Every structure is written in C-alpha cells, then in structure tokens.
Chains A and B, each alone.
Chain A
Amino acid sequence: MNSFRTKMRSKAFSEELAEEIIQSNSFWQDARIRFFQNKMAVLSCFILLSIVLFAIFGGYFAQWSNEEIDWSVLGKVKTEGMPSIASGHYFGVDELGRDLYARVVQGSRVSLSVGVIASIFALISGATWGAIAGYYGKRLDAVILGASQITTAIPYIIFFVVWQAFFGRSTSQLIIVMILVNWSAGLFIVRGQVMMLKEKEFVDAARLMGLSDFQIIRKHILPNMLGIVVIYASLTIPEVIMFESIVSFLGVGIQEPATSWGKLIAEGARTMQFGTLWQFAFPAAIFALTQISLYYIGDGLRDALDPKDR
C-alpha cells in the first residue's frame, strides 16, 4: 500500500501512466488486427453489409412495390404465387398476392432500424446502468434494481398502448418505446461482472493510483467484460427483432402495408403447413443470415478484445 503511494509521486509513475495509455491505444490496434485475421468474422461483416445494402438498394431491382397487389394471382397464391423470375416475383408473393421480394426489402429496412437501433441503445443503457449499479453498489444499486424490477413487472402492452395514446404512432416512436421497455437489457450481466471485477487486485491498484471511477471502468473493467457483453448483444438483437413481431401482432407495432422480418416470418409460419413454404423460407433465410453473421462477428470481437492476450 505504502509502496503504491510513493510510486504515485514518482517520475516512474508518470512514465508508467503514459506507457499505459500507449498500451491501451495499441490494445485497440491489436484488437483490430486480431479481428481482421478472423476469416469468419470478416466474411460475416461482408454478409451483414450486403444485407444492409440489400435493404437500402434492393428496391431498385423489384418489379413491384411492396403494397401493390398482383390481381392475377390473388386467390391462387398456392398454385401460381411461387417464386419465379418470369413473373417478376423473385421470392414469390404473400397471401394477398403482393411481391414478397419487395416486402422483404422493405421489411429489412424496418427490422434493421427497429431491431438493431433499438437493441443497441437498449444495451448501451442497460450496460451503463448495470456498470453503475455494480460499481457503486449500496443505495444506487437498490434504486437501479428497483427501477428495472418495476419496468419488467408492468405489462408491456399497456405501456405501448399508453405511450401511443400520448405520443402517436410511428416507426420512430416504436423505436423509442422499444428502448424504454428494454432499457435494462443486459443490466444484470454487466452488474454481476462489475461486482466481481471491482474486487480484483488490479482495480484496487488503479484506484490507489488515483484514477477516476470513470477511468477505472473504462480502462480496467470494460475491456474485461466486453467479450460477454458482445455475446449478449448478439443474442439480444435477434430477440428484439422478434419481439417487434409480437408487438405488431398485438396491434401496437408496425402498420401495414409496411412490414418487418418478424411479421413476415410469423405470417409465413402460420401458412407454412398449407403449402406456401416460400412465404416463410425467404424472410427466415435472411433473418438467419443476419444471425449467423452477428454470431461470428460477436465471436470475432470476443477473441479480438480478450485482454488476457495483451
């Protein structure tokens, strides 16, 4: 203990500190190099990027709009609505004879924005509050825990209904409510990790060196739990995307003619056994690709960020 204090005043200490900053810079650099050496992770980044590009530019290749009904196949979807290049319905049509390709493109846009944006913000909020609760403990911990317990206990449908009654209904409002409802996503995992890590020797040392709480969290605690947070995030994003479909089913989500992956999958799954498998297969496949990509990116990030390799 005493040695630490003397050290703090010494010249050696400031050098050490400088070195640490350099080291931490090189940590991120190393991480990047490590990440790009992971072939699966890089490939997954490309796939994810293609999906984003598909969502943005896919519409240019569509022969139909996402809401237009092809009257010639309406009512005969089972026999004439299957995927075909000739008819211009690359992915076939949905139950109402609307072009599934155009709908998947448009649904990707909604799901990527609602699912991804909402879950990332929710995770950031959950992680922040979790870190604060775990680090400071005591009263602050009790208050944050209490708030999260209350949010999970309130029936979310009611919350959606009330929110929309006051603030109206739109995709951006939907994103906001999704964040509010899920604000404590990952809170417990982060809180638990922080609770463990803050008792570790290196945190004591950092504290004695006079680092601020923020610095300690950022430099010593965060890198040590990034791995698990990234995995949790790659689990949460698909969950939030599917949660949107439940919310839409209950009448407080996306408004037709707009759609989303969750809605398309749910609709496809409903009619799957009646012989229109493509209605499920296409949206499910693109959702699966996204998930596989997230999975490997998460894995790659975890390996790259592992501080023990430092």
Chain B
Amino acid sequence: MLRYSLKRLLVAIPTILALIVIAFFLMRLAPGGPFTAERPLPESVMKNVLARYGMDQPLYVQFGTYLKNLFFHFDFGPSFAQKDRSVNEIIAHGFPVTITYGFWSAVFVLLLGIPLGIIAALRHNGVWDYTMTGLAIFSQIFPNFVLAPLMVLLFTLVLGWLPGGGWNGGQWQYIIMPAVALGTSYMASVARLTRGQMLEVLNSPFIRTARAKGLSERTIVWRHAMKPALLPVVSYMGPVFVYMITGSVFIDVFFSTGGIGQDFIDGAYSRDYSVLMALALLYITLTIVLNLLMDLIYAWVDPKVRSAL
C-alpha cells in the first residue's frame, strides 16, 4: 500500500511537469497580455515594463527562468496586477481562507447529504424520499448565484443575524453563509448518489443472503451495505472537494471572503500569468493527492482492489 502510494506520487511528477509546460504556453497563446490596457502604454513605457518582468526575453528563456525560480527558490514570481505583492504572498493569504470555508462546506455536504440519501433509500417512495427529491431539485434550480443573494437578503437584511460578507479572520459568523451557499447543490447530489447506490446495494444478492440469514436491518445497513453504497460518493467527492477547497469564484466575489477563487478569476481576466500558474499547480497537487486518497479508500473497502493495487 505504502509502496503503491509512493509509486503514484512518483508518477505524478511527469504529470505536474506536463501541466507546467502546457499551462505556461497556453496562457501566452491567449490574446492580450498582462499589460494590454484600455489606454495602450506608449512604446517606451511598455518596453521598460516588459524588461522589468523579464518578458522582453524569448519565450523559452522566460520558461527556463520560471522553472529555475520555481524549483530552486520555490518562487512563483511577481503578480502583474497586484504590484505590491508576490504570488507566494497572494496564495499564502488566500489559500487558508478558501480551505477553511471549503472544509466546512464539505463537512456540511457529507453530514447532511449522506444521511439524507440513506434515509431516502430505506424509506423508498416514502415522505423522506420525496423530501430529498424536492431538496435535490430545489438546490439545482437555485444554484449558488441565486441562493446566495436570497440568503443575504434573509439573514443579513431582514433578520440581521449574519454579516453580509467579509472574512474577519475566519470567525464562524462569516463562514456559515459561504459554506452553505457553496455546498447546497453538492449536498443534494451526494444525497442522490447515496440513495441510488444504496438502493442498488440493498437489492444485491449478498444483502439478500444476509436478510435470509435473519440479520437485523440495522446490522445489514451499517455492517454490509454502507461501505459499498458510499463508493460512488467517494469518487464524486474527490473532484468536488478539489473545487471546494480551491475556491469558488462566485463565493469569493459575492461574499468578499478573499480566497483564491477571486484570484483565479482576476488572474484570468488580467492575464496575470504567474498567479494563474501558481493556482494551476496548487490545483493539480490537490487533485493528485485526493485521487490517491480515493483509491486508498476503495482499497480499504474492497480487499480485492487492495491486492490489485
């Protein structure tokens, strides 16, 4: 298992390298650069600006410099848009924010979505089942950009319970709305996946055998059905968790939380290459780790998969 994990992480190195190459050159293919502005810079000024950021060099030299700074100094370079700060600082500031509300959002998704799905499956076509269906549909008609304004109207303007935005060092009042707004539709999806797979598992031969043996329903669900029923949720949550902790563009913009989701959109808009590169690297690292984690969970649930790894 450990060997397998190490191997997977080793295989990840070429993946990351490939990403660096693709992302670096793809960004520069996009029309417009960081200094393209409504008011075009005079030629001489542009020359100085480009020289300052080493962008007057041929592209392959720039790429070499980038790799050198990245690997030898772990330096992601300067931001072209936020001139007072380096990319390292930007990420160091934004990432903890995003991961905090992303984490709580994931907790909300799993703690509510899984039980809801299980209850709906056990009470197939019962009240709970319809409640869940209703919730699932509601949450997708009200995606976060519809839900968030409604929440703010209710909890900030009418009731005055929660602040309408900001982060304030991550006090709980500031986390609730972003986490719920971000998680609601995922929560509904998790509930649906859980319900679907649970129904399937409860219908499978080995559960039938268990029933025939006269085991109690509770034992059957907890001991036997639970693990296989949750596997699709594990697969689903892998990528979703990466989305959540790398920040929702909308949540950051709307709630002014200051996470890296905002940097992602600003970076793309302003062609802030170095910020985008750092985010892409952060993203892929998290994806790789979470994919590995997913596989390990599969192996833990199913011994046969374990031996195959």
Contact of A265 among B23, B146, B197, B242 (CB under 8 A): B146
Q: Complex Cα distance A266/B29, Å?
A: 30
The reply to whether A196 and B298 contact each other, CB–CB distance below 8 Å, is yes
B27 at interface by CB-CB < 8 Å: yes
Q: How many residues of A contact B (CB 8 A)?
A: 52
The reply to whether A154 and B294 contact each other, CB–CB distance below 8 Å, is no
Decide: A153 near B268, CB < 8 A? Known: A165-B30, A192-B298, A231-B193.
no
Binding-face segment, A47-55, A110-118, A285-293: A285-293
User: Which B1-45 residues have C-beta < 8 A from chain A?
Assistant: 8, 11-12, 14-15, 18-19, 22-23, 26-27, 29-31
Chain B residue with minimal CB distance to A302?
A: B196
Contact of A195 among B189, B236, B298 (CB under 8 A): B298
Decide: A192 near B30, CB < 8 A? Known: A155-B267, A199-B308, A269-B145.
no
The reply to whether B239 and A231 contact each other, CB–CB distance below 8 Å, is no
B276 at interface by CB-CB < 8 Å: yes
B245 at interface by CB-CB < 8 Å: no
B137 at interface by CB-CB < 8 Å: yes
A238 at interface by CB-CB < 8 Å: yes
A205 at interface by CB-CB < 8 Å: no
Decide: A153 near B26, CB < 8 A? Known: A231-B192, A288-B141, A295-B136.
no
Query: B92: shortest Cβ distance to chain A, in Å?
Result: 19
Contact of B23 among A145, A153, A188 (CB under 8 A): A153
User: Which A248-265 residues have C-beta < 8 A from chain B?
Assistant: 250, 265
The reply to whether A192 and B294 contact each other, CB–CB distance below 8 Å, is yes
Binding-face segment, B108-116, B199-207, B218-226: B199-207
Q: Complex Cα distance A27/B27, Å?
A: 50
Name the prevailing secondary structure of the B interface residues.
helix
Query: B22: shortest Cβ distance to chain A, in Å?
Result: 6
The reply to whether A158 and B291 contact each other, CB–CB distance below 8 Å, is no
Residues of chain A within 8 A (CB-CB) of B238 are 188
Decide: A153 near B200, CB < 8 A? Known: A165-B29, A195-B305, A228-B232.
no
The reply to whether A288 and B264 contact each other, CB–CB distance below 8 Å, is no
Contact of A149 among B27, B192, B287 (CB under 8 A): B287
B107 at interface by CB-CB < 8 Å: no
Contact of A193 among B143, B205, B231, B288 (CB under 8 A): B231
B90 at interface by CB-CB < 8 Å: no
Q: How many residues of B contact A (CB 8 A)?
A: 65
A140 at interface by CB-CB < 8 Å: no
User: Which B31-68 residues have C-beta < 8 A from chain A?
Assistant: 31
The reply to whether A287 and B141 contact each other, CB–CB distance below 8 Å, is yes
A211 at interface by CB-CB < 8 Å: no
Q: Complex Cα distance A72/B170, Å?
A: 50
A146 at interface by CB-CB < 8 Å: yes
The reply to whether B23 and A196 contact each other, CB–CB distance below 8 Å, is no
Contact of B204 among A191, A246, A308 (CB under 8 A): A308
Q: Complex Cα distance A98/B84, Å?
A: 46
The reply to whether A235 and B192 contact each other, CB–CB distance below 8 Å, is yes
Residues of chain B within 8 A (CB-CB) of A306 are 200, 203
User: Which A231-252 residues have C-beta < 8 A from chain B?
Assistant: 231-232, 235, 238-239, 242, 246, 250
Chain B residue with minimal CB distance to A287?
A: B141
Q: Complex Cα distance A137/B232, Å?
A: 18
Decide: A154 near B298, CB < 8 A? Known: A159-B26, A192-B231, A199-B305.
no
Q: Complex Cα distance A189/B291, Å?
A: 11
Additional 10 contacts, C-beta under 8 A, given A146-B18, A199-B302, A235-B192 = A142-B8, A153-B23, A154-B23, A162-B26, A188-B291, A188-B294, A192-B294, A195-B298, A227-B200, A246-B249
- 4 tightest A-B CB contacts, nearest first: A199-B304, A153-B284, A146-B15, A188-B235
- Which residue numbers of A lie inside 8 Å of B, CB to CB? 137, 142, 145-146, 149-150, 152-155, 157-159, 161-162, 165-166, 188-189, 191-193, 195-196, 199, 227-228, 231-232, 235, 238-239, 242, 246, 250, 265-266, 269, 272-273, 280, 284, 287-288, 291-292, 295, 299, 302, 306, 308-309
- Which residue numbers of B lie inside 8 Å of A, CB to CB? 8, 11-12, 14-15, 18-19, 22-23, 26-27, 29-31, 133, 136-137, 140-141, 143, 145-146, 149, 153, 189, 192-193, 196-197, 199-200, 203-205, 228, 231-232, 234-236, 238-239, 242, 249-250, 264-265, 267-269, 276, 279-281, 283-284, 287-288, 291, 294, 298, 302, 304-305, 308
